[in-house]
Amino acid sequence: MYIDPQNKNEVRRLSVSPRLEESEQPLYRSKNSQLDLDNNRPGQQQDKNNSEEDVRKQQGNIEDSIDKLNKKMSNAKLDDIEQRIRNGPDGGEVGDQLKLAGISKQRTVANEENDLKKLAVHGKKTDCKYTLRDFQILRTLGTGSFGRVHLVRSNHNDRFYALKVLKKYTVVKLKQVEHTNDERKMLSVVAHPFLIRMWGTFQDCEQVFMVMDYIEGGELFSLLRKSQRFPNPVAKFYAAEVCLALEYLHSMDIIYRDLKPENILLDKNGHIKITDFGFAKYVPDVTYTLCGTPDYIAPEVVSTKPYNKSVDWWSFGILIYEMLAGYTAFYDSTTMKTYENILNAPLKFPPFFHPDVQDLLSKLINRDLSKRLGNLQGGSEDVKNHPWFSEVIWEKLLSRNIETPYEPPIQQGKGDTSQFERYPEEEINYGIQGEDPYNVLFEGF
């Protein structure tokens, strides 16, 4: 089955976090739920030399948390680790790097588990591996509040990668230091077929850089807008792959917190890759931060209650709803009304929704945490065992052994950018060396 995309205008939704502002004024534009960064500034602009100590306090116990997270890494696959090393942008000798990583082809199960734990520890260190000189910057793939993402080509193996560039001054000014460091740390330890892969990081005195795989198929968001809505089997396919990705993250006590079609890419074969870990966080117990995209935020987040993995299953339900309906369950043109709907409005289904998916969504988009599917004792297995997913062969899906409903029309391995919008290019001043007042805040890069 293949989707026949039709033209339709695209309006992307921005993720939001109250840490961007301290004002009690409304944080959002009513027209399209985007942050108004210019009109809602409280008082005068913050001084560029913000107290480093204040910003560092945001980082809390992340290092201790990551150490605990590393203990959960023993289920990683040796083949995936070797593949990561083999295909790296530096194009180094596989054998030498495997020896440096302490990986041996012949080992006992105990030794393998021990090696993987060591590799997880080394995975926290992502700097000093690449520099700007290793890449040729080709074009812009996307822009945001903090910087932009470029398509780059490695000068060592001629492969294409995505280079995410964030401006330190803007990250500090908008109080996103913790989220930026969390993104690097989470990406440094995750390895899953349906998650974006980060190869390394580096920095200059003004920017931090993250080197990631280039996923050339474009956003699921663009495909959904062109198709208006997906047929039931198509939505089910993408939902099942997202479910496996969430199951993996939750097994490591990582919550994603920003699930939406804009953050789901399609690879050359049409399988998903969840990207943008800006709000991902290691949470072994609970957290309180209000962040995410308004249409997808769970009621416990809106009402500033403590929350954990439950929020991802609510967003998962909203994602399925939007894929099938073409719009989200509690949408309103004003963000505050959207929040009111999330807290109080009844869940209504279009008449063409299958009874099985209505049942699934009523259990995922459930305000009662004690009844929300995925948040119960059975965890993700309760979701996977629901009748709507009855024909999914989860093992084959995880091994990407199931035909995708849509193959992006691209030239593979050529750096094809036809599935991405064109953005105005700006003068690049990367690689500047000099005094860096924020270096201590981004030590991991």
State whether 256 and 292 are in the same domain.
yes
What are the C-alpha distances in Å from 92 to residues 118, 136, 151?
A: 21, 18, 21
**Helix boundaries (H) for 252-403:** 299-302, 310-325, 335-344, 355-364, 380-384, 394-398
| Catalytically annotated residue among 134, 213, 258, 295 | 258
Residue 404 within any structural domain of the chain: no
Type and span of the H or E element at 83: helix 78-86
In a domain, 419, yes or no: yes
* Same domain as 425, residue 335: no
Is 396 part of any known ligand binding site? no
Q: Classify residue 123: in a domain, yes or no.
A: no
CATH number for 287: 1.10.510.10
pLDDT (tens, 9 = 90+) of the chain, 445 residues, equals 334 333 334 566 767 665 433 322 222 222 233 322 223 322 333 333 343 444 334 444 434 443 443 444 334 333 443 344 345 675 543 333 333 333 333 444 344 434 433 333 334 678 778 999 999 999 999 998 889 999 999 999 999 999 999 999 999 999 999 999 999 999 999 999 999 999 999 999 999 999 999 999 999 999 999 999 999 999 999 999 999 999 999 999 999 999 999 999 999 999 999 999 999 999 989 999 989 999 999 999 999 999 999 999 999 999 999 999 999 999 999 999 999 999 999 999 999 999 999 999 999 999 999 999 999 999 999 999 999 999 999 999 999 999 999 999 999 889 999 999 999 998 889 998 899 999 999 988 9
Gap between the Cα atoms of 28 and 61, Å rounded? 30
Q: Give the residue numbers spanning the domain of 162.
A: 132-216+415-441
Tokens of 83: 């593949």
Query: Do 242 and 386 share a structural domain?
Result: yes
Shared-domain flag, residues 208 and 223: no
Cα 285–chain centre separation: 21
DSSP character string of 166-202 = EEHHHHHHTT-HHHHHHHHHHHHH---TTB--EEEEE
Residue 154's identity, in one-letter code, is S
Burial group, residue 256, by CB count within 10 angstroms (0-12, 13-18, 19+) = buried
- 3-class SS at 149? strand
Q: Are residues 279 and 372 in the same domain?
A: yes
258 is catalytic: yes
Structurally, the chain folds into a number of domains equal to 2
CB-based burial label for 427 (10 Å; 0-12, 13-18, 19+): exposed
C-alpha to C-alpha distance for 57 and 248, rounded to whole angstroms:
29
**3-class DSSP string for 236-254:** HHHHHHHHHHHHHHHHCCE
What pTM value is reported for the model?
A: 0.77
Amino acid at position 45, single letter: Q
CATH number for the domain that contains residue 422: 3.30.200.20
Secondary element (H or E) of residue 65 = helix 62-70
User: How far is residue 124's CA from residue 324's CA, in Å, rounded to a whole number?
Assistant: 39
Q: Is residue 66 part of a domain?
A: no
The residue length of the chain stands at 445
What six digits make up the tokens of 40? 């809602």
Can you give the pLDDT at residue 325? 98
| 281 and 136 share one domain | no
383 assigned to some structural domain? yes
Rounded Cα gap, residues 296 and 279, in angstroms: 13
Do 255 and 283 touch, CB atoms closer than 8 A? Answer: yes
Give Cα 436 distance to the centre of its chain: 28
Q: Does one domain contain both 258 and 393?
A: yes
Q: Is residue 420 part of a domain?
A: yes
How far apart CA 243 and CA 324 sit, in angstroms, is: 16
Q: Does residue 293 sit in the same domain as residue 170? A: no
* Residue 30 belongs to some domain of the structure: no
Residue 4 lies in a domain: no
Q: How many CB atoms lie within 10 A of CB 191?
A: 19
CA angle 280, 286, 288 (to 5 degrees): 75
- Give the DSSP letter of residue 412: T
- Residue 212 amino acid letter: M
